[in-house]
Structure 1
């Protein structure tokens, strides 16, 4: 069924996905209405359930679809010729912010999904998040040059500290953000704060 859905004409497919993203982002999984989704998409309910067995299938497909699209775009734009880890992290942060600005509706949906507590989907989302994080790190840390690290530094532990720090900072910001309708300079402030952590990594771990 999913392959048939993906073969739909682009305009109709995008209408359905955008309507579902909007409904799930605004109301969460439990309160989202397939009636509202088909109304917004201007399609019949029968057509929606021709491709998706139920609301859960639609929600989880949409989460996979959006995550894959964003991750592929991010990876495509990564300059993998940059071997320095801190510069890779700097590039990753900038690209992520660029994607948020380019696809605010998608990130609004992702943000809502990551806060989702509905038991029908919560464990599936947690598993999917682990998978996508692992995929991202595989790209981020592939073939990096560790020669700039200070002698005697446990490089793997230093990298783990970097990960924990940036993940903690990201989680802290996500707790603050209830909506992506933010003042324009918010993203610049987040990047500036990220830069401070990157500078600290350079001071602590590099020659």
Structure 2
């Protein structure tokens, strides 16, 4: 975090971060407008470039910030003691929703990093390595210490887990886009978990022993 931005009131920091992530996520690095960012964040353009010298510096800061959040609030929270793969995916999904509620555009924003790294002004090598390492370690945690005895006899457990992961990820991605247009109340989230657990029950019937 830049020294000047570090001294800004936290609520203002978060407003700038969330708005900037939103525009980078929706428009990509090249087309993201700092004019739109400052207007939505309610600050002067001069102040934005007082905190961050360039649009690129802002982008790099957001990538670093996003990776910090994902590492601390998501990947480090994965419960490796849960051997039931579907139950682990359920817990991972709940943690992901917690992160989404606090940072609505974070995950979509980080996905744009994959696209931007190939453009004319690439991300610093150390940041690319950190991003790749975090993703790799996160995927390893997802499948670590899984009890494959839950799966039906003669079923390829590894392929089954991939199919389950894709099913849940696809459902979550669709839901996330819908939730961006709504205010996330506790009642709405409870309804989401009821529906979601119903889908998981169907997956258990399809892949697990009775």
Q: Distance in 2 between matches of 1:40 and 1:184?
A: 35
Matches within 5 A, 1:1-80: 5=2, 10-12=6-8, 14=10, 15-16=12-13, 18-25=15-22, 30-33=32-35, 39=43, 43=47, 45-49=49-53, 54-80=54-80
Q: Contact (CA 8 Å) 2:83, 2:147: kept in 1 or not? A: yes
> Shift of the alpha carbon at 1:94?
1.8
Q: Contact (CA 8 Å) 1:35, 1:45: kept in 2 or not? A: no
Q: Secondary structure at the residue paired with 2:198?
A: helix
The alignment yields a C-alpha RMSD, in angstroms, of 3.7
Tell me the TM-score normalized by structure 1: 0.70
> Shift of the alpha carbon at 1:198?
1.6
> Shift of the alpha carbon at 1:10?
4.2
Q: Contact (CA 8 Å) 1:83, 1:143: kept in 2 or not? A: yes
Q: Secondary structure at the residue paired with 2:18?
A: helix
**Residues 194, 137 of structure 1: alpha-carbon distance in 2 compared, 3 angstrom cutoff:** farther
Q: Distance in 2 between matches of 1:172 and 1:133?
A: 21
Q: Secondary structure at the residue paired with 1:12?
A: coil
Q: Contact (CA 8 Å) 1:148, 1:206: kept in 2 or not? A: yes
Match of 2:150 among 148, 151, 160: 148
Number of the residue aligned with 2:177? 175
Q: Secondary structure at the residue paired with 1:69?
A: helix
Q: Secondary structure at the residue paired with 2:52?
A: helix
Moved more, 193-202 or 143-152: 193-202
Tell me the TM-score normalized by structure 2: 0.69
Is 2:120 the counterpart of 1:123? no
Q: Contact (CA 8 Å) 2:82, 2:88: kept in 1 or not? A: yes
Q: Show structure 1 runs of 5+ residues with no match.
A: none
The count of corresponding residues between Structure 1 and Structure 2 is 190
Q: Contact (CA 8 Å) 1:83, 1:145: kept in 2 or not? A: yes
Q: Distance in 1 between matches of 2:117 and 2:180?
A: 19
Number of the residue aligned with 2:206? 204
